[in-house]
Homo-oligomer: A and B are copies of this chain.
Amino acid sequence: MPLDSLVRELFTEICRIPLIDPHSHINPHQPASRSLDDILGYHYYTELAHSAGMDQKPLAADVEPRQRVHTILAYMDRFDNTVQYAWFLEIARTFLDFPGERFTAADADVLWDAAERRMSQPDWENEVLRRSNIEKVFLTNDFDDPLEGFDTNLYVPCLRTDDLVFHLDKPEVRQRLAKATGIEVGDAASLRRAIGKLFEHFTRKGAKACAISLPPDFTPRPSQDAFWMLAEHCHDFQLPFDLMIGVNRRVYRGGVYQGQDLFDQRTSLLQYAELFNAFPEVTFCISVLSSGQNQELVSHSWIFPNIVTSGHWWYSNIPAYIETDLRARLQAVPKTKQIGYYSDMYKLEFGLPKFNMYRRILARVLADDFVRPGILSETGAVELARCLLRENVERIFGV
């Protein structure tokens, strides 16, 4: 859809709202890219290039990064229709002074050199944050992360717990847990003490959320297992619990790194009913993988006080599904219970194009569903956007 003048005005105003990005995979010790290889090494590009015919040899560790970038760029005209391509184009145009509308393989050297030049500037990290209007970025920290050596006010720690719930039977995970907590886990009581230690460590270091991704067939039950204990600790430590529901790991076993996971639409939030009933004081920030399940999420957030809609995740993070899912949320979920968007990014440069994608759609939905029918003024629409993009994050996570 074209950005007409109303949509453009709303977009401009929405872009003025300083962002708090409530979920990312940023490494706080190396938050910005150092080269074009960091940009095009994002799994979206490696997996799309691979899906479109590239074998995995260019991705090997011993391949010269500049050569890898050449190869990926050479495959890009096979997926230049995708929104992920558009993200990269926006990065190149915004951050690398790229003047074109499309890439060709011939652009690889120019882009590489521009990236080298820009990314080696000493203030690059701050410039990216400033131009992206991002004030804080939530992280995804392993449970044994020391959380040291970075500004936890800027890069907000978040306790990621997949390992504890799904891999606690692995010796290396137990060893990491023992090392992090000083507790050898052997039974439920020792597991509970270890988890308590982790929550103490993380909250002392400024963590503002606990998070986990879950397979489609997962059904939490009241028990002495790690998942239920995490919910209990979220209650005790007053941490919101981010549930990222629906991912099957390693479905495509020959896929590139981080490009092997898919989903199964045969899943329901009903599987979580016992959890939601058992922890009325824990805020569950829920991401789903399919637009079909988004309707379940809308209905559950409308009914359960402790459920909040959270962003547009992965396979649902494309405009066609964002638009449908966003419209339904705005029409049926209290505005105070919606976390509009998070970047999920690994490198800071992706914050701008991803949030812009969301902001453009938000501007259009606000224009069409609220301003034009007379439900909200333009000012009111921007306030609603501020609620989704900023105020709810502040209040829900206490940042």
Interface residues of A (CB under 8 A from B): 1-3, 47-48, 50-53, 78-84, 86, 101, 248, 251-255, 259-270, 273, 276-277, 280, 290-293, 295-296, 298-305, 315-316, 318-321, 324, 327-328, 330-337, 368-370, 372-375, 384
What is the distance, in angstroms, from A278's C-beta to the closest C-beta of chain B?
Answer: 10
- CB of A2, distance to nearest CB on chain B (Å): 4
A333 / chain B contacts, CB cutoff of 8 Å: 79, 82
Closest chain-B Cβ to A186's Cβ sits at a distance in Å of 35
Question: Is there an interface contact between B305 and A52, defined as CB atoms closer than 8 Å?
Answer: yes
* Residues in B neighbouring A248, C-beta threshold 8 A: 270
Nearest to A296 among chain B residues (CB) is B265
Tell me the complex Cα distance, A259–B280, Å. Answer: 15
Partner of A1, one of B52, B267, B332, B369: B369
Chain B residue numbers with a CB within 8 Å of A267 are 266
User: Within the assembled complex, what's the spacing in Å between the Cα atoms of A183 and B150?
Assistant: 73
In this complex, what residue of B is CB-closest to A387? B81
A304 to B2, CA, bound (A): 32
Instruction: State in angstroms the CA–CA spacing of A263 and B319 once bound together.
Output: 26
Q: A265-B268, A292-B290, A303-B259 are in contact. Are A83 and B331 (CB under 8 A)?
A: yes
| CB within 8 Å for A3 and B373 given contacts A52-B334, A248-B270, A262-B303 | yes
A304 to B250, CA, bound (A): 12
Among B51, B80, B304, contact of A252 (Cβ-Cβ < 8 Å): B304
**A270-B251, A290-B295, A299-B315 known; A52-B324 Cβ under 8 A:** no
Instruction: Give the distance to chain B from A88, nearest Cβ to Cβ, in Å.
Output: 13
The copy count of this chain in the complex is 3
Interface pair A51/B331, CB less than 8 Å apart: no
Question: 8 new A-B pairs (CB below 8 Å) besides A51-B305, A253-B277, A298-B315?
Answer: A51-B302, A52-B336, A81-B334, A81-B335, A101-B374, A255-B304, A265-B292, A291-B295
Given A1-B369, A81-B384, A86-B375 in contact, is the A328-B321 Cβ separation under 8 Å? yes
- Give the complex CA separation of A53 and B374 in angstroms: 27
Q: Is the CB of B48 within 8 A of A334?
A: yes
Closest to A290 in B: B295
**CB distance B82 to A331 under 8 Å?**
yes
What distance in Å separates the Cβ of A1 from its nearest Cβ neighbour in chain B?
5
Q: A320-B324, A320-B328, A373-B2 are contacts. A277–B252 as well, Cβ < 8 Å?
A: yes
Q: Given known contacts A259-B303, A263-B296, A266-B267, is B320 in contact with A327 (CB within 8 Å)?
A: yes
17 contacts between A and B (CB under 8 A): A50-B305, A51-B305, A52-B334, A79-B335, A81-B335, A82-B333, A251-B303, A252-B276, A254-B277, A262-B273, A263-B296, A264-B270, A290-B292, A290-B295, A291-B295, A302-B315, A324-B324
CB nearest to A248 among chain B residues: B270
The answer on a CB contact under 8 Å between A266 and B263 is no
Task: Give the residues in chain B near A321, CB-CB below 8 Å.
Answer: 295, 328
| Nearest residue, chain B, Cβ from A327 | B320
Give the distance in Å from the alpha carbon of A266 to the alpha carbon of B216 in the complex. Answer: 12
A336: chain B residues within 8 A (beta carbon): 52-53, 78-79
